[in-house]
Amino acid sequence: MELALTNQHLIVVTNLAGSAPINIEWSCPLRIVGGIRHEPRWNQRGRITIAFTDGSLVRLIAGYVFPGKARRFVEASRTLGIPS
């Protein structure tokens, strides 16, 4: 599974690198995303917290050892105006 951002949605997709068609497993409009933060922890260097405007949040791991993917995702969210 991979996270993806468009100018309108936050999306979880599967089969991004495979030969099968890409499947959208989950999506939400960006207007309900209140913030995206990179919050590394020991042995969870790629930990991302996504907060929603209703007060809920989800924490995801985009790599246990290397934080690069998490950092790039958060940087991309900034270009779309999503706060930290």
CATH 3.40.50.300 fits 2-79, yes or no: no
Residue 11's pLDDT band (cuts 50, 70, 90):
very high
Residues 17-28 pLDDT 10s: 777 888 999 999
DSSP at 46: T
**pLDDT attached to residue 21:** 87
- Average pLDDT (43-65) is 95
**pLDDT attached to residue 34:** 96
Residue with tokens 């497993």: 25
- By the 8 A CB rule, do 64 and 43 touch? yes
Domain boundaries, the chain: 2-79
Q: What is the mean pLDDT of the chain?
A: 92
